[in-house]
Amino acid sequence: MPYVMVQIPKPPADEPLAPRSVPTSADVARLAGVSRATVSYVLNNADAVRISEPTRRRVREAARELGYVPHAAARSLRAGRSRTVLMPAPSFPAGPLYSRFLSELQWALGRLDYTVVQYGTAGAHGDEAARAWAELRPVAVLVPGSGLGPQGVEILKRSGARAVFTLGPEAVEGAHALLMDHEIVGHRAARHLYGRGRRGIGVVVPAEDGLGIFSTPRLEGVRRAVRGTDATVTELPLAYDERDAARVAARWGSLGLDAVFAYNDEYAMLLMRALQDAGTDVPGDTAVIGADDLMLGRLLRPRLSTVHLELPSGRDLAALVDRAVNDPGAAPERHEVLGAAVVHREST
Amino acid sequence: MPYVMVQIPKPPADEPLAPRSVPTSADVARLAGVSRATVSYVLNNADAVRISEPTRRRVREAARELGYVPHAAARSLRAGRSRTVLMPAPSFPAGPLYSRFLSELQWALGRLDYTVVQYGTAGAHGDEAARAWAELRPVAVLVPGSGLGPQGVEILKRSGARAVFTLGPEAVEGAHALLMDHEIVGHRAARHLYGRGRRGIGVVVPAEDGLGIFSTPRLEGVRRAVRGTDATVTELPLAYDERDAARVAARWGSLGLDAVFAYNDEYAMLLMRALQDAGTDVPGDTAVIGADDLMLGRLLRPRLSTVHLELPSGRDLAALVDRAVNDPGAAPERHEVLGAAVVHREST
DNA sequence: TTGAAAGCGCTACCAA
DNA sequence: TTGGTAGCGCTTTCAA
């Protein structure tokens, strides 16, 4: 039995006392005395249809008067696709380098008409996090760090993501990879130290949480650099405060080290100061090298040698994302995007 | 004339070759052999209705099998409200302090079941930006810096935002204000210097873009602190590099200054090193004070005096936002949330 | 040149 | 206990 639908007129909206309801395109249409379709045509500058200039004006005027703002969710629901690029907030404290990279990328994607959304995942893990991201139906997802597995990628793709990128140490099946393997940083540092005749190499490993995804590969890079040589690698846990640095410096003599790769410039500055205070000569007794090439390292005496890091330009990356979105069938690409080069100053 | 609607059965989805279309709740319903309503009840654990355990199991099983993930936009469109808290990305480079504050806030809001979204506005300005934000229909908006005017607040509210907060130097009409007026930082620094007998006070003003919203009020705070006294204030533009610092240090003698508030610890470290290299004794000839209380300041010799900043806890702030959302009618609140206290070390 | 209406995916009301 | 169905705000055919 067929249903019979009777048109029941809506109660006229003659109650301006209504508590400031949000204006919709229907309200604009009513005020302008046109249909919702016409409103949509005008406000989206649809060139497929010709709307008379007076009508256009009336619609625009009505929209302005009501303070109409289109509803992004409704729009993308109807369209069946969004231009949202999702970037989960990184689980590690973002340094100045990474922050700048991020905002550059955001800007560049914005230029390509994507809406970049940083999503604070607040503790969700693994596939659960992926599901939370998928609910937003992003057209692309850029995941920093290493919290996404092949399962997660599959979840995202099944929910419509046309490209998934990981920014981290390793590639994940099904996703494009922007490999930023910090292993190379440790490797460069150790090669430098070894090349300058150092054989007892200490490696600072920050005690702080969340830095493991950087410190572990950096340490591994050091190990790889000296594998098969007569050099030794000693792991040096260190908290980011003066007391702990003094503790390490106090037993320095007993460690038998003549060089240290201090994770980054900040830890390097901390440790170098402690070593100097404890009577260790830098670089005479011990060479010290950091990473990240912070301005401040140049101010120390001796000036701090460091590993300069180079992240890809936001513009290039945005273009890459755009390409991947437009060709979702393509095979996942791998790009090695972390440049690292030793800047030799005075501390080594 | 009434419309007659005939139920036309959809073509059966017997084409598994379809290019991996995104599963909807209807697909789950079909697979489980129940209605969409039932699917919704089960997956949302609706306690208003009793669904039998076998049915629940079937539905969940079907959802899992299809990899079903609900569509957030559709959901909030239907619900007429979202739990999205929007935070436009700040226009200034976020320091470690602010980054930590941000992620703490994100976490805390997440605990209250809000979805925090950082939106990269990519160059939109003023009301245009506000309109872009409004399209997302956030339940609350937290705007850092000072780019939002009363107009923008009105736009956001008219589009359904139940609370608008500004995090910045001044309150905006209609919005709650978390006042973080950096004027106090300069004021504290100058009072400290003045109290220690300094009368010729230089104030570093970074040449870098985007820092003006901090440096201008900090300078103003210094001015206010010494107004009506015999002390003088000298503005010192300084770029964040060694060459420019050397330039300033070279003409130090001619400036007639015996103290400098160096904007923050980084600029302080830069300038102090340059001054020392140029033969100026710190703090003998010139006292130097920074701000932000970075760890690294303690490593200098002399140890750097600084202004320690205290941002509000993310938890408190999240609670505040939650309260405002639940009581949208309440009058805008103003909270002074930036704490500043001098940490006296050796450089002053 | 404009309008009517279908439908995106979802939930909540009402009826069975 | 379960299902039908209306409708959130929007765009886009198709028809007039």
Structural domains of chain B in order of their starting residue, each with its CATH number: 25-70 (1.10.260.40), 81-179+313-336 (3.40.50.2300), 183-310 (3.40.50.2300)
Q: How far is B230 from chain A (nearest CA, A)?
A: 34
- Provide, in whole angstroms, the distance separating residue A37's CA from nucleotide C4's C1': 9
Closest by CA to B168, choosing from B119, B216, B120, B117, is: B216
The per-residue pLDDT for B122 is 61
**Mean pLDDT, residues B212-228 taken together:** 96
Q: Choose, out of A7, A20, A135, the residue to mutate when testing the contact with B (most B CBs < 10 Å).
A: A135
The per-residue pLDDT for B226 is 97
Q: Kindly state whether A285 is in contact with chain B, defined as any CB-CB distance less than 8 angstroms.
A: no
Q: DSSP for A85-140? A: EEEEPPSS---HHHHHHHHHHHHHHHHTT-EEEEE--TT--HHHHHHHHHTT--SE
User: Is-contact B204 B267, C-beta < 8 A?
Assistant: yes
The per-residue pLDDT for B96 is 81
Give the pLDDT band (50/70/90) at residue B8: very low
Q: What is the pLDDT of residues B92-115, one digit of tens each?
A: 777 888 888 888 898 899 889 899
Which amino acid is present at A274?
A
Calculate what percentage of chain A has a pLDDT beyond 70: 93
In this predicted structure, which of A40-49, A143-152, A244-253, B91-100 has the lowest mean pLDDT?
A: B91-100
Chain A residues 197-256 within an 8 A CB cutoff of chain B? 240-242
**Helices and strands (DSSP H and E) totals, chain B:** 13, 13
Calculate what percentage of chain A has a pLDDT beyond 90: 77
**Mean pLDDT, residues B163-167 taken together:** 95
- Provide, in whole angstroms, the distance separating residue A235's CA from nucleotide C7's C1': 62
For residue B6, CA distances in Å to A50, A295, A296, B29 come to 34, 73, 75, 22
Q: How far is B321 from chain A (nearest CA, A)?
A: 16
Give the pLDDT band (50/70/90) at residue B13: very low
> Crossing angle for the helix pair B314-326 and B96-111, nearest 10 degrees?
50
The per-residue pLDDT for A123 is 64
In this predicted structure, which of A40-54, A186-200, A244-258, B160-174 has the lowest mean pLDDT?
A: A40-54
Between CA A163 and CA A153 the distance in angstroms is 9
β B115-119/B140-144 pair status: unpaired
Tell me the average pLDDT of chain B: 90
Give the pLDDT band (50/70/90) at residue B15: very low
Q: Kindly state whether B154 is in contact with chain A, defined as any CB-CB distance less than 8 angstroms.
A: yes
Q: Choose, out of B6, B81, B158, B304, the residue to mutate when testing the contact with A (most A CBs < 10 Å).
A: B158
Contact at CB, A136 and B241, closer than 8 angstroms: no
Between CA A307 and CA A291 the distance in angstroms is 4
Give the pLDDT band (50/70/90) at residue A122: low
Q: Kindly state whether B81 is in contact with chain A, defined as any CB-CB distance less than 8 angstroms.
A: no
Show which positions of strand C are touched by protein (CB under 7 A). 1-14
User: Is-contact B165 B142, C-beta < 8 A?
Assistant: yes
What order do you get walking across the sheet with A232-238 strand by strand?
Answer: A232-238, A200-206, A259-261, A287-289
**Residue B245 scores a pLDDT above 80:** yes
Query: What's the predicted TM-score (pTM) here?
Result: 0.87
Asked if the Cβ of residue B49 lies within 7 A of any atom of strand D, the reply is yes
Give the pLDDT band (50/70/90) at residue B20: low
| DSSP structure class, residue A321 | H
The per-residue pLDDT for B97 is 86
User: Is-contact A177 A165, C-beta < 8 A?
Assistant: yes
List of chain A residues whose C-beta atoms are within 8 Å of the C-beta of residue B110: 120-123
User: Is-contact A322 A226, C-beta < 8 A?
Assistant: no
Closest by CA to A142, choosing from A15, A303, A25, A317, is: A317
Contact at CB, A122 and B135, closer than 8 angstroms: no
User: Is-contact A210 A268, C-beta < 8 A?
Assistant: no
Closest by CA to B105, choosing from A133, A120, A117, A132, is: A120
What is the enclosing helix (H) or strand (E) of A62? helix A53-66
In this predicted structure, which of A41-55, A280-294, B186-200 has the lowest mean pLDDT?
A: A41-55
**Residue B11 scores a pLDDT above 60:** no
Show which positions of strand D are touched by protein (CB under 7 A). 1-13
For residue B18, CA distances in Å to A51, B14, B21 come to 38, 9, 7
Between CA A277 and CA B262 the distance in angstroms is 26
**Mean pLDDT, residues A169-198 taken together:** 96
Which amino acid is present at B188?
R
User: Is-contact A261 A284, C-beta < 8 A?
Assistant: no
List of chain B residues whose C-beta atoms are within 8 Å of the C-beta of residue A161: none
